[in-house]
Chains A and B, each alone.
Chain A
Amino acid sequence: MIVIDDVSYAFPGASSDALDHVSLDLAPGELVSVIGSNGSGKSTLLRVMNGARGAHEGGVLVDGIDPMADEASSLEVARLVGFVRQDPVCQLVSSSVADEVSFGPCNLGLEADDVRERVTTSLEAVGLGSRERSGVEGLSGGEQQRLAVAGVLAMRPSYLLLDEATSQLDSSARTDLRSLVRELVAGGVGVLQVTHLLEDVIGSNRVLVMEAGRIIWEGSPADLLGETSVLDRAQLSGADGSSAPDIMRLALSCACPKADLLDADAILDAVTDDDAIDALARLLVSPQGRPSGREGDLDAKADGRTLSLREACVRVEGSDILSHVTFDVPHGSVLVIGGRSGSGKTTAAMALAGVGELGTGDALLDGRPVRAGQVGLAFQRPADQLFRYTVAEDVAYGPECRGMSPEEVSRAVSHACELVGLEEPLMSRAPLRLSGGERRRVALAGIVAAEPTAYVLDEPTAGLDGAGRTLVHGLVRDLASAGSCVVVVTHDLAEWLPCSDAAVLLSHGKVSWSGPTSELVSDEAPFLAAGLRPPLDVSLRARLSDARDRVGRRRS
């Protein structure tokens, strides 16, 4: 049992506590989810639980051991409590799979034969048994996360802490990792996961909601679905502005098993009476959150005023990264590009923005080849590109590069800051001293300020809480309404379908489906063909009429 008793922790120099009198316990064989906005103290809580940070007040005991007692206790707690992070890349210490897994056991000074045996069994436990002799670079993001879990399992831990471990994975890799975690829990490991995803929360035994360093709510996932005000404050992805919680509530009221709330068939099996089916149908209508801008599209498209890829091909070392990819994004519309990791999404995004080379084919903006600087480009963690002394200077960088006059620059800067909600007092501060959320706004303002007529956003909301996502969704809608072409590249289609007009699904570098979003929201086949798990509402919509027929037949 991990016992956290009335723990407080403050970062050096911070005015408020990152953890403010937090108490909780984690038993073996239990899965607990911790949710809450960015900066609410979730990650700090995990760092205290595995002894990496010492609590300033209160006590931490892991199976009766205080990690702060002495060096040996600290080491034993680190062994007992495994830790897996969000970024699959930064946490791996080695470039070879076997070596990565042996790192922990070697640190423990175990016998060489024992180490080798643990490497084999841990890799088998995570389904990477055949990859023992591979290099780390050749693994997909999902495989790298499972490798990180294997590296932890080789230390034979009793507990596992997951810090948004699924957030950078595509939907099928998420499902794989989630079932691996379930197996570990069934095998007696106590797991505590920090997450922003409603789908992660559903299968857990308990949920804790954190806000400003405190635990403000605790209960079961079913209870959480019932508490709409708490659900709002928790800022879960898949819960904000979506009908998923309502659908799950309805399913629960129809006695759908709690563990099956992500399974469309189970929900439809449970929802049998006519009233409930009607209620479900009402929850499933109108997925489109972007009523404006649609009619202008056709004109723009007819005029050839689009951001387009034409027959784009990229080959690297004999394998096709992109193969004959063609699509158009008219001004005033949002196109979402989805696909598994490694499907060529980012290569397409770079080409569209004029910063990636195509083997053959063209990237065109309004009929002419795209040049770097014409299309606004944001990667995940856009804050990584900030480099000037003050916020104002950094936002002005793009406009200055475009050769605007000082008056134009200051107008563009203030307009961009207004769009992303950056307030005046921040303008003279140093970007690196701002909070994560503020830095993101600065970075987005810097992209918007250059006033491109088209934008490519690559995974712009990964790892963000509800407030951060709402900001980006709003910005995308505003930019499209103002007449820009907007392309969003994502592994999380469920999140972006409501904000988009059209979609392209990529699979192994080829377009496996393309068309208006309205056709995609009730058809599972395109998702399956692209190797993706269809979002819950899509599956429900696709199968709703079957379910009605079934109920009808049963009755007659």
Chain B
Amino acid sequence: MRGMLPLGGYVVASTRVHECDARVKLVLLLAVTVVMFVSVSPLVIAVSVISLAALARAARVPASQLLRSVRPTVVVLAFALLANAFVVDGTADVVIMGGFGLSAAGLVRGATAVARIVLLVGFALVVSSTTTGPQLADAVVSLMSPLAAFGFPVGDFAMVLSIALRFVPLAVGEFDRIMAAQRARGADLDTSSSRRLGRWAAVLVPLVVSLFRDADVLADAMRDRCYRGEGRTRLARRLSAADVATLVCGLASAAFVCIVSALIA
């Protein structure tokens, strides 16, 4: 058995954040992203930290999960921080050797960049852990539906997205199962060497074969339930009053933070 996936992992609970319409959550996530990249000020960072903490608490997403989600990017983040902090042109505040040293301004710049990414991962995590795969797929499709006018196959895209989200945990489970079976046969999958890739054939070949078989079964099951890819009923929910209020308040505060930080600067 393996731990949670880096991002994703719907946390079953019934909170206000879970109840909120997925479209609203996606639009607000987009708004937060725009704000963070448009305006670089300590105010934006501070407000984001507070609102992320409040949201995570309301949605009952544990802080440990946020740390786990950031872990894969830790090397890149550390590099971004250091690359900004060290200067070689003699402008260093703390000179280490010659023109090489630490720059306070660079350190702040690097820290801001890192904080921005960690915060965005945090917001995305709150969305993904309070929204099921189908809700997410529906929301994406619903937001994309104007594209149908230009001939974009929105319905097919929706199905592909929804099934992909459904198959990720299945593929992970299958992978774990086959890996356990091959390790029990004596496969050494842990020590690294030049032949490591060849050894992984023992897992990857059966995995691909079994995923193709599952895909065949699923295709048959969809056919048996009259799937044709077109003419499907769309069960679009109408936004509730609470959803609309959340959307308006969220967008208004994002704009407010933007304007205030611009005025201060």
Contacts and interface: CB of A to CB of B under 8 A. Distances in A.
B185 interface: yes
A513 interface: no
Interface hub of A103, A356, A378 (most chain B Cβ within 10 A): A103
A96 B233 contact: no
Contacts of B180: 350, 353, 355-356, 377, 379
A413 to B, nearest CB: 13
A116 to B, nearest CB: 7
Contacts of B231: 107, 109
Contact of B218 (A90, A377, A401): A90
Give the interface centre of A52, A85, A89, A387 by most chain B CB atoms within 10 Å.
A387
Interface string B163-178: 1011001100000011
B241 interface: no
Describe B's contact surface by its main secondary structure: helix
A90 B217 contact: yes
Interface string A72-104: 000100110011010101111111100100111
Interface in B191-250: 201-202, 205-206, 209-210, 214, 217-218, 220-228, 231-236
A377 B187 CA distance: 12
Contact of B183 (A373, A378, A382): A373
Contacts of B177: 379, 384
B235 A432 contact: no
A245 interface: no
Contact of A376 (B163, B184, B226): B184
Nearest to B216: A90
A136 B132 CA distance: 10
A516 to B, nearest CB: 28
Given A93-B163, A316-B1, A135 B132 contact: yes
Contact of A347 (B1, B201, B234): B1
A401 B188 contact: yes
Contact of B186 (A116, A137, A347, A373): A373
Contacts of A90: 170, 214, 217-218, 221
A65 to B, nearest CB: 14
A210 B223 CA distance: 26
Contacts of A493: none
A50 interface: yes
Interface string A200-223: 000000000000000000000000
Contacts of A387: 201-202, 205-206
Contacts of B166: 92-95, 136
Interface in A442-481: 446-447, 450
B100 to A, nearest CB: 46
B184 A78 contact: no
B235 A115 contact: yes
Contacts of B10: 95, 135
A89 B214 CA distance: 9
Given A90-B214, A107-B232, A379-B177, A356 B1 contact: yes
Contact of A377 (B181, B220, B225): B181
B12 interface: yes
B218 A93 contact: yes
Nearest to B162: A94
Contacts of A535: none
A107 B162 contact: no
Interface in A110-131: 110-112, 115-116
A109 B1 CA distance: 40
A446 B178 CA distance: 14
B39 interface: no
Contacts of A47: 220
Contacts of A29: none
B145 interface: no
Interface centre among B202, B210, B222, B235 (most CB of A within 10 A): B235
A387 B205 CA distance: 6
A478 to B, nearest CB: 19
A48 interface: no
Interface residues of A, number: 67
B94 to A, nearest CB: 45
Interface string A419-453: 00000000000001000000000000011001000
B135 interface: yes
Contacts of B232: 106-107, 109
A385 interface: yes
Given A96-B134, A356-B1, A401-B188, A78 B223 contact: yes
User: Which of A52, A110, A151, A385 is packed against the most chain B CB atoms within 10 Å?
Assistant: A385
Given A75-B228, A96-B132, A372 B183 contact: yes
A202 to B, nearest CB: 28
B225 A78 contact: yes
A375 interface: yes
A155 interface: yes
Given A93-B218, A135-B10, A384 B210 contact: yes
Nearest to A446: B185
Contacts of A89: 170
24 contacts: A83-B221, A93-B162, A93-B163, A93-B166, A93-B222, A93-B225, A95-B165, A96-B135, A105-B233, A112-B235, A134-B12, A155-B226, A350-B180, A355-B183, A356-B180, A377-B181, A379-B180, A382-B181, A384-B177, A384-B181, A386-B206, A387-B201, A387-B206, A402-B186
Interface of A: 47, 50, 52, 75, 78-79, 82-83, 85, 87, 89-96, 99, 102-112, 115-116, 134-138, 151-152, 155, 316, 347, 350, 353-356, 372-373, 375-379, 382, 384-387, 397-398, 401-402, 432, 446-447, 450
Instruction: List 3 A-B pairs, minimum CB-CB distance, nearest first.
Output: A401-B186, A377-B184, A387-B205
Interface of B: 1, 10, 12, 132-135, 162-163, 165-166, 169-170, 177-178, 180-188, 201-202, 205-206, 209-210, 214, 217-218, 220-228, 231-236
Given A83-B224, A401-B185, A401-B187, 10 more contacts: A75-B228, A90-B217, A92-B221, A94-B162, A107-B225, A115-B233, A136-B166, A377-B184, A401-B188, A450-B186
